[in-house]
Amino acid sequence: MTPILETKNLCKYYGSGENLVKAVDHIDLQIAQGEYVAIVGKSGSGKSTLLHLLGALDNPTSGEIWVDGKNIAALTGEELTALRRRKIGFIFQAFNLIPSLNVWENIVLPIGLDGKRADEEFVRDILRTLDLEERTNALPNTLSGGQQQRTAIARAIAAKPSIILADEPTGNLDTKNGDEVISLLKLSAKKYGQTLVVITHNEDIAQMADRTIMLEDGRLI
């Protein structure tokens, strides 16, 4: 299978000498299009660093990252921004919604930033799937944690990215809401043909993935 996301000998080190921390240490990873991969590891194992590198949010110390056949090191700043906006959707543990914008505005904001018009029909469809239709005009602080995370999911999906990167998406949710969020991500990814990479320390959640990758001290095990 052609990988949509690939790392070659990827390293990310912090500090130097005795304080050298190998957050990501020679990782070779291939993720196929449409795959749902869970990256599991304890805190400090380098999961978040790896995800940030995959999403071009951080620069590697050495090694290469290929997204959709492009080596992202070769891209200009402008192309990199376009790649992050169009190809990749992010979901974070802390939701990262903008408090002064309502649900709808939060969802279409990244599309607007990209200078495009939101596909209204598509966004409505997502809202229906995520049961947010009635909260379209609500502000984030009036929503429950589950609803906020569903809004963040809607935002990640709305730009129709090829890849969704989720960093502990259920970290702030109880078991039931967390399970539901993961099922939703899986359902949406399947519905819209997206690749899903979820990092978590929760093995219960990793069960639902097509493939689980274990990370320890920055290395795959």
* Residue 131 exposure: Cα atoms within 13 Å on the Cβ side: 8
Q: Report the residue from 146, 168, 169, 218 that binds another protein according to the rule CB under 8 A.
A: 146
CA–CA separation, 197 vs 181, rounded Å?
14
Q: Report the residue from 61, 102, 172, 177 that binds another protein according to the rule CB under 8 A.
A: 177
Residues in 11-70 that interact with another protein by CB under 8 A: 33-34, 68-70
Name the token pair of 164.
């969704």
User: 201: helix, coil or strand?
Assistant: coil
119: contact with another protein by CB under 8 A: no
150: contact with another protein by CB under 8 A: yes
Rg (Cα) of the chain, in Å, rounded? 17
Tell how far CA 189 is from the center of its chain: 12
Q: Report the residue from 114, 179, 216, 217 that binds another protein according to the rule CB under 8 A.
A: 179
Q: Report the residue from 62, 100, 128, 174 that binds another protein according to the rule CB under 8 A.
A: 128
CA–CA separation, 200 vs 173, rounded Å?
13
Collect all residues with Cβ–Cβ distance below 8 Å to 128 and sequence separation of at least 6.
none
1: contact with another protein by CB under 8 A: yes
Task: Please give the residue ranges that form the binding site for another protein (CB under 8 A).
Answer: 1-2, 33-34, 68-71, 74, 86, 128-131, 146-147, 150, 162, 176-177, 179-180, 182-184, 186-187, 190-191, 193, 203-204, 206-208, 212
